[in-house]
Amino acid sequence: MLLFVVLCALLTGAQAGLLDIFDSKVCYGVLGCFRNDAPFTNSWRELPNSPEKIGVSLTLYTRANPLEGDALDWRNTENIISRTHFDPNAEVKVIIHGYMNDGMDYWVVNMTRALLQAGHYNVIKVAWGPGAHAVYPKAVANTRVVGAVTAHFLTSLRNAHNVSMSRVHLMGHSLGAHIAGYVGSDARGIARISGMDPAGPLFESTDPAVRIDSTDADLVDCIHSDGVPLEDMGFGTLSAWCDVDFYPNGGGHQAGCPKPVSGAILDVFSMNMLGAETAVSCSHSRSHDLYVDSIITCTYPSSRCDSYAKFKAGKCACNSPSSCASMGYRTSKSTAPGKYYLVTTGTEPFC
């Protein structure tokens, strides 16, 4: 934790003026106001930037336009059916990237392609690249505005075109998992949220309102793939925040991923965050790779168990509906709540 404290102090001081810390709120029109008092003190009291500065964009892909997406105006959904390929009778799948990513990341493209292969869906990509590349505390703050934009858009769809939230499934990686949680908290009635390695730093031991939690949708399922301590360069968490929490390979270091090396730490202290993230993100990124594979290729049978130690000792067999589940896309509302463990391979496909 000391490394993170030093890093945040350096980066926050380098990019944000001290006066910004003492601002109590910012307001952005229909999105409302965002305060930095409790419970939202986790971003070191950083306030979120505007949607324009964050660069929030929503893009629609369907089987009719799988390659060239339709730009969506989150402020106005009145003409979405006549001007885009949106089908109000199809389910809505929303993909949200995380820290240091953008909407063109390989996994976002692969997930979009796999979803369109799996079904006739409206696949909406939520991109916020500029806001996600800010220093970490600011990026954490920015997630709140991205969530508000997405919730406003979905609520407008419901009001203007009778699109039921019971047909909406949000999928978020890292900080994107918490964004999905904010969306579910604002646009009530969301059917499902899938969190792919929800970010741990600045979210551990926080109020459920600040992070993804089991009340954000009818079903909240999470994959934990990088839950090692931050001082060991872990970006995720082992905390069971969801209805169903999956821990491939114990939820920490993933098979086939290199151990974080001292060079990554040097990148951190030299403020080369992209270099550091690339060096240590293999396990963190594995969660979205596992999820993509689960859409078409892998079922990932997992055993309900109290701990990884008991699972490895063979004390938790996957032999009944209440003790077994499929990790990823095939997780269903019928899955018994709890922690689930499994072992994956170290090369793709990981099943």
Q: What is the set of active-site residues? A: 174, 197, 284
Structure tokens at 81: 């059916």
Residue pointed to by tokens 């959904």: 77
Query: How many secondary structure helices (H) and strands (E) does the chain include?
Result: 12, 13
Q: Which residues contact 190 (CB under 8 A, 6 or more apart)?
A: 154, 165, 168, 169, 170, 183, 184, 216, 217, 218
Of 252, 245, 250, which is closest to residue 339 (Cα–Cα)? Answer: 245
Terminal-residue alpha carbon distance, the chain: 34
Q: List C-alpha distances in Å: 45 to 182, 212, 238, 333.
A: 18, 19, 25, 37
Structure tokens at 260: 């974080």
Q: Which residues contact 202 (CB under 8 A, 6 or more apart)?
A: 42, 43, 44, 136, 137, 140
Residue pointed to by tokens 């893009």: 59
Helix (H) or strand (E) holding 171: strand 168-173
d(Cα 272, Cα 325) in Å, to the nearest integer? 40
Ramachandran angles phi, psi of 22, nearest 5°: -90, -5
Tell me which DSSP letter residue 3 carries.
Answer: H
d(Cα 169, Cα 256) in Å, to the nearest integer? 30
The answer to whether 181 touches 210, Cβ cutoff 8 Å, is: no
